[in-house]
Structures are given as C-alpha cells and as structure tokens.
Amino acid sequence: MKTKFSNYIIALLFIILLLNILPIPAFCMEDEKTIYLTFDDGPAKKVTSDVLDILKKEDVPATFFLIGNQIKGQDKILLRMKNEGHSIGLHSMSHKKANLYFSDEGFLKEMLDAQNIIKEITGETSNILRFPFGCNNNSYCLKPGLVELLHENNLNIYDWNVDSTDGANYTASPSTYIKKSKSDENQIFLLMHCGYSNKNSVKALPDIIKFYKDKGYTFKEINDTTKELYHYKKK
C-alpha cells in the first residue's frame, strides 16, 4: 500500500510540474474576455477629468484618442492619462472631414502633427490612431494605399466593434449609452467619447464598467502590441 501511495504522489507531482512548465494553450487565451474602453474627441477639461476620476476609482485602464487642436492648455490632463496607466492615441488635428479625407498625405500629416504635440508633453511617441468618424464613413472608405502609408510610418489603426452611440447622439440619456454598450463578444473595443458635449457619457460610465466587471471581463488599454481593428468596406 505504501508503494502504491508513493507512486501516486510521484505521479501527481509530475503532473503539477508539467502544468507549471508547459505554456497555456492558445485556445485558452483566445477565450479570455477582454474589453478596451476607448474615448474619442478629448481632451475636454472637466468632462475628460471626470472620466479619469471614474477610471481611477474603478481601477481600470482606458485609451484616449485625442484631437491635436484641443490639447493646448491641457497638458496636465495628458500627463495624468500617462501617469495613471492609460494609453494616448491620435485622432487627427482638426477632426474635419474636408481636411482629412481630401488626400492620404493630408490625413497622415494631421496624425503626425498630433503625434508631435503629444510627444512634446508626455515624452512618448503615440503610434495608435483612430479615424475620425471611423475608417469607413460617408466621406471616405478605407483603401489599401492609406493603410500602407500609415504602416510605413509605424501607425496602427483601431476602429471599434461596439458603439455606445454617445458620439452621434450626445444628448441621449445615460441609460441609452449603457444599453448600447452591452455586448457578449469575447473581445470588445467600446467606442465612447469624452468631448465637451459628452456629460451624459460620464454618468453612464460607472454602470458600463460594473456590467463588464460582473461578466468577468479584463480591462486593457490599447498599445503597440494590440492587434489592429479595421476592415475594408464591401462593394
């Protein structure tokens, strides 16, 4: 009996050793529920600061896609984003369709100009961007040529797959944004906004975070290693 028991213990220890050595299978990692909270159209003084207060209280990271022309005088907000573990992305200088979608070179220039402003303040180069109005909108549909140009300049593209609708309808009730933000996808890139008009987005945010925490999601910020999210519109 002692020999059988000893053999059992040895076998058990061997299994534990293997589990500690072998990598976690890829299919297990793909099943991880992940949410990327993303906020466009900042910085916007109190609204953006209120969003940061909630994120700090809830201890979750997020990604902010900023408009270059709005940054002046709001250095402290950018530094707070950086110091509190959030990612800062590019959302152009002007956020104006006529400027952005006239030419690929014009689009790139707006992103690089915003990149330079952010680097002057934070000391870090942001290589993540979001197309204003999305990479397929009523003024422009994404083309391989622009993707190539952006990649040549080390810029990665991130659209969204869940829309809170607080951009197109910023006067809606917080409950509307909460409802629209709910999803059961394994990987969620949630579009929200922290511009000057997005006061109700701030009110909705705690309940949105609670929903995904209760569902067991891991909150992450977008960085250079995050797989890009964009698509070409079908003709």
pLDDT value, residue 24: 39
Q: Is the pTM of this model over 0.85?
A: yes
Give catalytic residues, as residue numbers: 40, 193
Q: What are phi and psi of 65, to 5 degrees?
A: -100, 110
Q: What are phi and psi of 69, to 5 degrees?
A: -70, -10
Alpha carbon distance 198, 230 (integer Å): 25
Residue with tokens 């909460």: 178
Ranges under pLDDT 70 in the chain? 1-31, 235
Domains and CATH numbers, the chain: 33-219 (3.20.20.370)
Q: Distances in Å between the alpha carbon of 81 and those of 144, 165, 215?
A: 32, 23, 26
SS3 letters for 51-99?
A: HHHHHHHHCCCCEEEECHHHCCCCHHHHHHHHHCCCEEEECCCCCCHHH
Alpha carbon distance 128, 229 (integer Å): 11
Which of 149, 52, 74, 145 lies closest to 110 in space, CA to CA?
Answer: 149
pLDDT value, residue 22: 43
pLDDT value, residue 94: 98
Say which amino acid occupies 78: L
pLDDT value, residue 211: 98
- How many whole angstroms from its chain centre is CA 96? 21
